[in-house]
Amino acid sequence: MITPDEIIRSARKTLSVSVDCFGKVTVRAPRRLDEKRILAFLQEKESWIIKQKRKTAVAGICLPPENLLGYEFLLLGEKHKIAAISGVRVSYDNENKTLVLPAKNPKDRLVKWLKENALRIFCEITERRAKEMGVAVQSVKITSARRKWGSCSGKDEIRYSFRLLYAPKEVIDYVVVHELAHVRHKNHSAAFWNEVARFVPDYKTKRQWLKARAALAHVF
């Protein structure tokens, strides 16, 4: 039997159920509706809920625990683990794929560390790809965006979400090419996609990787 992770009651008159990108089942219900009716509603929606939860399980992504200790997450497409919370700085062991976070504000310090590395890595790829594609950008900035992995403004300013750093380098490369193609084509026309395909022939595979792991945009 399906049981909800959260029931949100309000002045609404109808029942609804949603499954988020981490598999959390949330029911929204009228304030005084009997719980038996809610459970019966979930039973009616059981096959749909199971289907949605299976989709999230495929990505294998979960939210970090409150203390972050022992949490495994992707960094450049490879699994990394937060091994300890101690000291005063972020310590990275590439050989063992582990991080030690500072005892004070570990989450904030980790995000800062991720943004710094994202800027360095994304700038390197952007500079190289821009030369290959024959385009010029005004600036490259790192954001905390959750809805977009990257964007290109009308003034050719490129922005990347630091969370793109979780993806493999070849997927990051696709996003870079995608945004650089917008320097020349300010839309998603056939000409735009042809430009992307010139430099990343299997871009559809890269797009699918990101789509299947949309939950990554909500980690940290």
Q: Per-residue pLDDT tens for 80-89?
A: 999 988 888 8
When pLDDT is averaged across residues 156-183 and rounded to a whole number, the result is: 97
Residue 34 sits at φ, ψ, to 5 deg, of: -60, 140
Q: Which of 119, 218, 96 is nearest to 165 (CA)?
A: 119
When pLDDT is averaged across residues 193-220 and rounded to a whole number, the result is: 92
Lowest mean per-residue pLDDT among 99-103, 127-131, 178-182? 99-103
Confidence bin at 20 (pLDDT 50/70/90) = confident
When pLDDT is averaged across residues 186-200 and rounded to a whole number, the result is: 97
pLDDT number for residue 58: 55
Share of the chain above pLDDT 70, in %: 95
Q: What is the mean pLDDT of the chain?
A: 91
When comparing pLDDT for 61 and 194, which is higher?
Answer: 194
How far apart are the C-alpha atoms of 119 and 114, rounded to whole Å?
9
pLDDT number for residue 57: 61
pLDDT number for residue 63: 67
Q: Which of 137, 112, 120, 20 is nearest to 76 (CA)?
A: 120
Residues 12/29, Cβ–Cβ less than 8 Å: yes
The rounded radius of gyration (Å) of the Cα atoms in the chain is 21
pLDDT number for residue 71: 87
- Render pLDDT for 56-96 as a digit per residue (tens, 0 to 9): 665 566 767 778 888 888 999 999 999 988 888 899 999 99
Confidence bin at 31 (pLDDT 50/70/90) = very high
Domain residue limits, the chain: 6-59, 110-218
Instruction: Quickly name the fold that domain 110-218 has.
Output: Zincin-like (3.30.2010)
Calculate helix-pair angle for 169-184, 203-212, nearest 10 degrees.
110
Look-up: residue for tokens 């320097």?
183
